[in-house]
Structure 1
Amino acid sequence: MEDVVPKGLTHADLIMPHPYLSFVHDPELTGDRMRVNERGMAGRDWPERKEEGTFVILLTGGSVAAQLAGLVPEKNILEEALNQHYKSEGIKRFIVLNGGGPAWHQPQQFILFALYAHLLDGVITLDGVNEMTNMNGISKSLGYGFEQPPDHYFAAIEKEGGGLKSMWPLRLDGALLRFQREVWLFRHSRLSYLVTNGVRRWARGIYARGEAGGTKSLRKKTTLFFAPPGGMEPDEGVLLDFDMYKKYIRMMHAIGTRLNVKTLFALQPVPAIGKDLSEEEMKTVGTITRERALGYLIVANSMELLRIEEKIPVYGLAGVFRDHRETLYTDAVHLNDSGLSILRDSILNLLEINWGLVRN
C-alpha cells in the first residue's frame, strides 16, 4: 500500500494503535489516493445504523481486501458492481465497507466483525496469505503463536509514544517498495529487484526481532501472551495453527447465523499457484519458492474442508486466473486493476451461489 501513501511519508507514518484491532490508519493523515474515515479504515464512511432497503457488506482481510473494497470511495469496484447489477425489490442500495488492513490476519477480521456486526447484512473475508505467514511449521519456526499481532502494531505504539527513531527499518522498507515501483530500472531488471528485495527483507527482519530498539520489551511480553504450548512437536504446532484459523472462521459464521448476517470466506489467490506468470510478473514475483506455494495450498485446502464437512461457505480462489496470461500481479500478493476486476467477478459469482443474489 506504499504507492498510495502521501509523498514524504511511508505507511508506517499513517498508522495508530487501536484498543481492539491492534492498529488502524490515522484519520488525520488521509490523502487523495487513500481516504481514512473516523473508524480508522480506508474508503467510505460507515453507517451508524441499519436502513431499510440498504444491504451493508463488510469486506475484511489484509491489504488485498483493502484494495478490492476501495482505498477511496470512487475505487470501490465491488460496491459499484453490486449496485449496477444486483439491486432488487428488497435491496435498493448496496454499501461495501472497507475492513482491510496491511498485514492484518485473524483474529483481527473476527474482532472487527464482532464490533460492528449489528450494522451489517453480510460479511466477506478475503485472506489467507498473512494467516499462513503466522503459522509455525508452514512458513518457518516462528517462535510465537498464530495470534501474534503484526509488526505494524509495535510501530503504531512507538509512533504514538514518540519513539520514531526505532521505526527506521519500516520506513526503509516502505521507501524501497515505492522505489521499486517508480524507477524504471527496478521494474525491469530482475537483478536490481532481487537486491532491493533482499534489503527490504533485512530491514523487516531487524524490526521483527526488535533489534531497532523501541518496543523490544513490549514485543517480548506480547510474544509470551500468544506463545504456543511448550513441548509441542512441529506437526502439532501446524495443526494447532490450522485449528486457530478455523476457529475464527467458525465463530464469524456462528455470529452471522445468530444475527442473520450472511457470510462468505474467500482464500485469496497467490502468484505461484493457478496462473502462468507473464514475463513482467516473473521479474517481481518469481522469487516465491515452491515450498511456500505448496504451504499456502495446504492451508487453503484445509480451510475448504469447513465447507465440505460443516457447510460453512469457505472457498479457495487459487484458480481464478488460470485462463489469464496477461500481467495481473504487481508483487507477491497485490493485484493491478485488471486482476482486481477478475477477483471481484469471482466473488460476485460466489455471492450468487451462497447468498442468492440475482444478477439483473
Structure 2
Amino acid sequence: MKQYDYLIVGSGLFGATFAYRAKQLGKKVLVIDKRPHLGGNVYCEKMEGINVHKYGAHIFHTNSKKVWDFVNSLVEFNRYTNCPIANYKGELYNLPFNMNTFNRMWPEVHTPIQAQAKIDEQKAEAVASLKGRKPRNLEEQALCLVGKDIFKKLIKEYTEKQWGRDCKDLPAFIIKRLPVRMVFDNNYFNDCYQGIPIGGYNKLIEALLDGVECITEVDFFKSKYKTWKKYADKLVYTGPIDEYFGYKLGKLDWRTVIFKTRVEGTPNYQGNAVINYTSHNEPYTRIIEHKHFEMFGQEVYDSPKTVLSEEYSTEYKEGMEPYYPVNDERNNALAEEYRKLSLHEDNVIFGGRLGQYKYYDMAPIIEQVLSIQL
C-alpha cells in the first residue's frame, strides 16, 4: 500500500486548496515545499505588528459567490477596496482610468461626454498616423486605445520599467484593451467581492492545511519524493512546468520582482496601500504600504510605525523567484508544447501559475481547484 493518495508539490493557493479538498474527502495527503514556510507567494511576514506581503501585494477579488463563501468559511475577510494611485513626477492620478483621472489630466474636463470626446480625438489622431495598417507594437496599440496624454504619463514609462524594454520593442498584443471608466469610481476591480483575510493570508493557508501533513525546505527534484510513485497514487505539481520535463524543449522565460522593504517611523507614510510610479524618475514600479491592507481610520495611527516595500521589476536569473510569464510569441508557443506533454503524464495534475505558465489572480486558482474531480 502506498503511503499517500496525493503528493502535492508546492503549498501555494493551488496546492493548499487541493490539499484541503482531498482531506475533506478522507484522502491521505502530503504537501512538500522547498521554501522554509507554507503559503507560496501569499505568505505574510509580521513586522512591527503589520502583516507584510513578502512576495508582493495580494488582493482577493471575485465575482463568484461560491469562491467568496468558500474562503470566508475558512477565515473572515475585511472590507479592503483596491484604489491604487499613479504618481507621475509628483502628479497624482487615480487608477484605473476614470473621471477623477481625466479631470486631473485635463482640468477643463468635467463630464463623461467631455472626457470621451477628448479621448476619441487623441485616439483618432493615433489611428490616422498608422495610415490604414494595424498597430505593430505596444506603443502604437496603446495610443490607439487611449491617446497620447494618458499613454505618456500613465503607461509608457511604467510599462518600460515592468518589461525592461522600450514600448516600441514590445508586441502589440500585450495590451489588448485598457479599462476606461466614465464614472467617478476609484475601485480598481469591478468584482462583487473584495477584501483581505483578517489577520493576514497566513490565516487562510493555515485553515486550508489544518490537519494536513506538510514538510518545508524540501526540493522535489533533489529529494526522495522525485520518485513519487513509490509514495503516492497521484502527484499534484505546482512548480515550473519546464523544470518538470527537465527543460527538454528549452527554458521558459520569466519576469521577476525584487523587493526592498523598510520600516518608517511614522504611522502613515503615503496614505494608500498601493502607489504606482509611472515615470523613469524612480527605478521602482510601485511602493506598497502594507498596513493599509488591514488597518483603517484611527487604527492606522494606533500603530506608530509603518512598513513599505519598493518593487523593482527585472529579468529573471537562475536562483530568483519566477513571477510573471513572458507573454510573447516564443514563450507562448513553447509553453503550449509543454502543456501538450503534460496531458500524457499519467496521474499528474499540473496546477497554478508555474505549473501552467499562466498568470492567475487568486480567486480563479481556487475556482479551478474546486472544479477538479477528485
TM-score with structure 1 setting the length = 0.27
TM-score with structure 2 setting the length = 0.26
User: Which structure has the larger Rg over C-alpha atoms?
Assistant: 2
Identify the structure with bigger relative contact order (alpha carbons < 8 Å, sequence gap 6+): 2
Higher strand share: 2
